[in-house]
Structure 1
Amino acid sequence: MDIPELGLDRLARVSVELDEILTVGPIHGGVRRVVPITGGRIDGDRLSGEILPGGADWQLVHDDGSTTIDTRYTARTHDGALVYLATSGVRHGPEDVLRRLFGGEPVDPREYYFRIGVRLETGDERYSWLNRTVFVASAARFADAVVYDLYALR
C-alpha cells in the first residue's frame, strides 16, 4: 500500500498587527502574556482580506525562553466572508536571539524557530474547503506584528 507523501502549497502571506503585550504574570509552566491583535492583512490568490481587531495571542513564555503560541482571531475576505483563525505552535531559539526579539529589535527569522499549526473555519460555502484542510505556517516576529506564510498540506 502506498501512502501519499505530504506536500505544501503556499496559500497566503498573513500579517497580524499587534498592540502592547499585557503580562498576566507567572503561572504554572511559565509567564502568561496576552498580545492583543489590532488588525492586519491576508494576501494570497485563493484567500485575501483583512484581519479584524479583537483577537489575541494568549501565549506562555517558559523558563527556557521558548514561547507556546495560542491565538484566535477573525478575518473578513475581500468578498465578505468571515473566517475564524486559530494558531498553536512554538517559538524558540538561542538565548541572545530571544533577548533581542523580546526587546523589540529586528531579528532575522532564520535565527530562531517559529512554526505554527493554523485552523481556519467558515460558514461561507465559497470557502468551505478551509474547514477540511490542514494548514501550517512559518512565522516571523517583529516589534508590532507577526508575519507568516500559510501553507496547505496536500
Structure 2
Amino acid sequence: MSEFPSAQPAFTLLVTIDAPLAVGSASRTTSLQVVPMTGGTLKSAEGFTPAIDAEFVGVGNDYIHADPDGKHLRLDAHGVVKTKDEALIYVKYSGVVTLTDAERAIFTGQAGDLSTPFGNSFIHVTFETGDERYKELENRVFVGQGRFIAEKGKPVVVDYRVGQVVHG
C-alpha cells in the first residue's frame, strides 16, 4: 500500500446555478460574487455506502471571491439536500477554480453551448446531518473535481465527481 492517500469514487454532484450577483466589498481587495444554487442532485457512485439519492432543497449559494490577479476563483458553497428516504443533509464545499477563457465565458454569460474540461475546478466537501443513516459522512474526507456545462436557454450546471479519500 502507498503512503499517499487515493480517492474512492463516492458521488456525482450536479448543481444548477444562476447568474452571479455582484455584491461587492468595501473591505476586501476583490469583490464578493454570490452565485445562487437553484437546484441539483447528489447521487452515490455504484457500490458506495451509504447509498444516497438526493435533490437540493431550499436556496443555496456559492460565495465566490476572485484572486486579485484574476487567475483563480475561491469557492465557498452551502446547500441542503433531501434524500429519497426523507433525510436532510447539509452540504458544504470549498475550492478553487482556475480561470481559463472557457470558465470566464461561463461566468460572464457568454458561453453559448460549452462544456469546460475537468481539471480546472477542485473542491473539498463536508456534510452535516442529524439522520443516523448518514451520520458517518461527517467523519470522512471527500474531494472532487468539476466542470461547467452551458447550453443556450438553460441554466448552467456544475458537474462534480467526488471521491472519498482512503488509504492508498
Q: Letter of the 1:109 partner, please give it.
A: P
CA displacement, residues 40-83 of structure 1 (integer Å, 9 cap, x when unaligned): 11122422111113110011122322110001100011111111
Q: Does the 8 Å CA contact 1:11/1:47 hold for their aligned counterparts?
A: no
Match 1:61 to one of 61, 66, 75 = 66
Q: Distance in 2 between matches of 1:53 and 1:38?
A: 8
Partners of 1:98 and 1:85 lie apart in 2 by 23
| Residue of 145, 152, 161 corresponding to 1:149 | 161
Stretches of structure 2 that go unaligned for 5 or more consecutive residues are 151-155
Where does structure 1 lack aligned partners over 5 or more consecutive residues? none
TM normalised by structure 2 equals: 0.80
Q: Using the alignment, how far apart are the partners of 1:10 and 1:123 within structure 2? A: 24
Letter in 2 for 1:74: V
Q: Which whole-Å deviations, capped at 9, do the CAs of 1:4-57 have from their partners, x for residues lacking one?
A: 531211111111111221101255131210011111111224221111131100
Query: Contact (CA 8 Å) 1:16, 1:40: kept in 2 or not?
Result: yes
Match of 1:124 among 108, 121, 131: 131
2:98 matched to 1:99? no
8 Å Cα contact 1:31-1:62 kept in structure 2: no
The number of residues matched between the two structures is 151
Partner of residue 57 from structure 2, selected from 52, 58, 70: 52
Q: Hey, which of these two has a bigger chunk of helix by percent?
A: 1
What root-mean-square deviation, in Å, do the aligned CA atoms of Structure 1 and Structure 2 show? 2.0
Q: Does 1:42 align with 2:48?
A: no
Cα distance in 2, alignment partners of residues 77 and 24 from structure 1: 32
Distance 1:85 1:100 in 2: 27
